[in-house]
Structures are given as structure tokens and as C-alpha cells.
Amino acid sequence: MFQATKRVPPQVKALAEVRRTPFLAMNRAIIREKFTLLRRALPDVRVYYAIKANPHKRLIQMLHAMGAGFEVASEEEMNLVLGCGVSPKGIITSNPLKSESFIRAAYRAGVEYFAFDSYTEIDKLSLHAPGCKGYVRLVVSNEGSQWPLSKKFGVETADAIALLEYAAAHGIAPFGITFHVGSQCTNQTSWINAIKKSKAVWDSVRDKGIELKMLNIGGGFPIEYTTDSIPPMDELGKAIRRALNEQFPPETEIFAEPGRLIVGEAGTMVSTVVAKAKRDGENWLYLDVGVFTGLMESIGGIQYPFLTPKDGPQSPWVIAGPTCDSMDVIAKQVLLPELAVGDKVYIPSAGAYTTAYASRFNGFLLPRTYLY
């Protein structure tokens, strides 16, 4: 079981009195704080915000003003970023599975950086983005990650070397290596081992006459939810810096693609109780937000906190969303006081991978986003 608390930001309470739920309230001060924290922990790293975490336009504009670049995965994401005044030189495309139309559009727009992890991807880049700066996706351990990514993406060392050679022979400028330790990773050893593995590829291709310039350490930096014991960002940054200094020359360009770290803790999802029931001895509480309207990561293991301003004896509840799909269950064994239909439930640490996942399944409204 995990405990609900009663600390709700007053600005969020004020919004809840006048705005229709569900909605996401984003705290600008926390976004600035997290961006500054990352810059302090990894001062020599070029930050490219992964807009898949939360693509809200005003958020992009805010991060652009703070000096962030952006990682995009599709033509729509790219156009959104360009529309916010971002230079194409400040955009990277680390999705190694790009459509030909996206590659053409990005290349025409002036985007220079493209990831790959297959021969077919290199062939597409050679045809539609000749001379671009290509970087290979290396598969690394995702131990300690709550949302592993290693099975779908990346290649092992020998294949990474072969792909970089193939890219060089087909008109692509081999630029670097990228990896991802998995989302919400609490194991700093995963970054250290990934950096060492990347160096083995780096040295091998250098011996073949290919001089790489960039290492992209991805994202995966963890945030606080309920049960996670997460390393402080300054401690994690120190371990990463030490590994980079030991393995790579000082002129190496280091990229990172934070998403959750920047916006996760800045967001509070505000919802309303729409129904209650007792089934097989369990208390069920139904909210107007659920798996399909923003809380998709709950089915992958993310345990959100739940806040309520109500007092009283607490008991365990199953919390579910409003749709007619039985998968729409957000959490179980959540300790809450007795709530009534119409009461508000606040869900912190919901700024990342919530509204970006939301759909209109069953015709339910998408949560709107408000920055305060």
C-alpha cells in the first residue's frame, strides 16, 4: 500500500475551482529548477529536451529561451519545435526508425543529426539526407530502469562498428554514438557501463580511420513518484562526469536528452471522482482521468502519488479511469479517506508522458494544460 498526502499547491487548488477536469497544471518554477539542476550536474553537456515527454508549446518556448535544444521523433514534433522559433541546428532526431518522408522534411529544414541502428536506416539517410551527421544507437543494459528500452532499439558492439563503417561508405558523416539506459533509471552503474561500452566502439572505429566527435548519453534520469529511491541528480552527474573524463577526450561533444527529469515533477494532474463501488470486498474509486486519457505509464509500473484535501480514516482503494475498458485501472491499494462523487483528486509528478499519451478513446476529453 502507499499513502496519499494532503499537500496540494495553492495555485493548483485555485485552478481546480474554475477549470474543468481533468487538466494538467505545470509549475514553471520547478521546470526552471530542474533544468538548472541538470546544467549544474552536467555542465559540459548539450541538453536536447525530448519533447515526447510533454510537447506543450509554451513549455517548448520556455526551454528554448533557457538555451535547450530539442530531440524530435517525427515530422509533427519537428514542425512544432520549428514553429516555436527553434533553429534546425538545435534539433536532433534520435529515433532510429524514421519514415522516408520525415527524413526528407528534416533534411530540407536544415536538421543535421540523425540516429540509425540498421542498414536500411542508413540506406534511407544516404538517399534522402546525404552528408548528414549520423550516430549509431548502441544497445546497453537497462538494469535499474522502470521502463526498459533495450529490446526495441540499438545494436551490439560489433554491429555498431559495422554500421558506422557502412555509413561512412554510403555518404553519411559518422558523427557519434548514442545509448539509452531506460526510463526512470535509478542505477548509476548503467550509465557508467554504457559509457565504457561506447568507448570500445569509439576506439575500434578510430583504428579503422573513422573519427567520431559526439557521445549522446540519452535520458532516463529519474524523478520522485512514491516508492522509488532515487539518487540525487548531483550525485548521478558526478558519477557520469567521472566516467566521461576517464573514457573520452575533453574535446568530445556530449549530448543528453532529458524529458521526465525536466517536466515530470512540475506537473499535477487534477481529476474529479465520477463514481464509487465495492466489488468483491474491494473499494473502487473512478476518476475522470485514466490510463487512456493520460496515465498510460501506470500500466507499466509507474506508481503516482494521490493527494486529497479531505481528512478522515484511510482505507485501501482501487483507482480506475472512466472508460469502458477493463485495463483502465490506474493503481491498487491506495490509502485514501472516504471520498464522494465530485471530490477532487490531485496526482503529482504527472508532467511527463501523460498528456502526450492521452487519446480520445470512448470520446472522453483530453486533459488541457495550464502553466502557472
- Look at phi and psi of residue 315 and say left if phi exceeds 0, alpha if psi is from -120 to 50, else beta: beta
Asked if 70 and 81 touch (Cβ cutoff 8 Å), the reply is yes
| Cell numbers for 266 | 512540475
How far apart, in whole angstroms, are the C-alpha atoms of residue 28 and residue 5?
22
C-alpha closest to that of 136 among 178, 103, 73: 178
Question: Residues for the chain: how many in total?
Answer: 372
How far apart, in whole angstroms, are the C-alpha atoms of residue 71 and residue 216?
11
| Cell numbers for 358 | 492521452
**Residue 283 burial by Cβ neighbours in a 10 Å radius (0-12, 13-18, 19+):** middle
- From the list 84, 132, 185, 324, the catalytic residue is 324
How far apart, in whole angstroms, are the C-alpha atoms of residue 186 and residue 189?
9
- The question of whether 324 is a catalytic residue gets the answer yes
Asked if 54 and 263 touch (Cβ cutoff 8 Å), the reply is yes
How far apart, in whole angstroms, are the C-alpha atoms of residue 83 and residue 330?
35
C-alpha closest to that of 216 among 36, 50, 37, 82: 50
Type of residue numbered 220: G
User: Which residues are bridge partners to 371 per DSSP?
Assistant: 26
Catalytic residues: 324
